[in-house]
Amino acid sequence: MATFKSEFQDLATELISDEFADFRAAFRVFKESDTYDPRTDTGGVGESHDLQAIPLEIEDAQRVFANATNDNIYLVALKAGSSQEFDTSYAAEYDGFIYSIERVADDPADAAYFFSLVGGSKQKAPQPTTRFAPNFNGISQYALLPDIALSFGSVVEFDFISPTSLISDLRLMLSNTDGFVTIVRINTDGTINAQGGSVTIDGGSDTNIPLDGLKHKIVFTSTVNINFNLVGAQSNGSGSFLRFADFPIFNVKVDDGSVYSFPMDDGWQNNPTMRNTGSGADGTFINMTEAAWQEIPL
């Protein structure tokens, strides 16, 4: 085990030199807080520090840690001027897995941290595996947004799960409450109609809806000044709604999403809130039921 400052310094300097740059890997040290929530991709991290680390061979680990064995993972991480102190109250994410920190040795030369991680005892770092979006029922369900002003060149994009058949009425995707306004809709022949702008499906020139039950993206580019505040229905301007969508719509984003971006994957537990991840106001789901939330592709 190394006991002198010069020994730590020599080892740290050697391992974090440019010669070993190809061996560096992302390494995150954090303190856990709330349970990870795959719906919002948040939680599980209360304090986080991103470092670059190099794995230590057992011979090098034994120079730092007494009784080092092959059962643990040993890393050296460059401090890069950080004065953060780490201890066993932290956890670590390395190579896609989360580990407990068993020991930390602070380099007296102040060049690097040495970590001993408990190996093989933690599962793969949690990642979102499912999302749920509103599968509008075509009868009474829709989403009400804040009044969003579009001008020439404004872009609204959203995803949807395509229906598998046509019906004898229009299906509204985007509109507003001023009365019988259409912005984006599906016609009875399966074509997309856009008023006040142009529209593409999956970036192509074909404006026929693929009747395949799969995820597709629509991009609407405005050529006029117009407001929209409805997803999945049309208003008659007097408080009644019609021409409802009967398929999932989600990921509604205006321009770069910094003001308005609605993932629409809030789930029943947050009903009726339609969460906006931008700086603008949230929206509201109308007449949703728990059964209306459908699993969608990530």
Supply the pLDDT for residue 4. 44
pLDDT computed for residue 45 by the predictor: 45
Which tokens belong to 206? 């074909």
Going from the first residue of the chain to its last (298 residues), give the mean pLDDT of each consecutive group of 10, the final group possibly shorter. 51 58 77 53 60 87 88 84 81 85 80 81 54 92 96 96 90 90 92 93 91 94 95 90 93 94 87 91 94 84
Asked if residue 163 and residue 104 are part of one domain, the reply reads no
pTM of the entire predicted model? 0.59
- CB–CB of 28/93 below 8 Å? yes
> Helix (H, G, I), strand (E, B), or coil: what is residue 12?
helix
**Residue 260's CB: how many other CB atoms inside 10 A?**
21
Residue 124 pLDDT? 52
Same-domain pairing of 144 and 290: yes
The answer to whether 162 and 178 have CB atoms below 8 angstroms apart is no
Is there a contact between 162 and 246 (Cβ–Cβ < 8 Å)? no
Residues 166 and 284 in one domain: yes
CA distance 31 to 46: 5
Say what the pLDDT of residue 80 is: 62
Cβ within 8 Å of residue 269, ≥6 positions away: none
CATH label of the domain that carries residue 249: 2.60.120
pLDDT at position 225, please?
95
> In whole angstroms, what separates CA 103 from the centre of its chain?
33
Cα–Cα distance between 184 and 196 in angstroms, integer? 9
CATH of the domain at 33: 2.40.10
Q: Kindly give the residue spans of alpha helices, DSSP state H, lying in the chain.
A: 5-15, 58-64
The residue type at 93: E
Domain that holds residue 82: 5-118
What total number of domains does the chain contain? 2
Q: Are the C-beta atoms of residues 287 and 140 closer than 8 Å to each other?
A: yes
Examine the domain organization and report whether 267 and 142 are in the same domain: yes
Same domain assignment for residues 206 and 236: yes
Shared-domain flag, residues 155 and 74 = no
Do 157 and 292 reside in the same domain of the chain?
Answer: yes
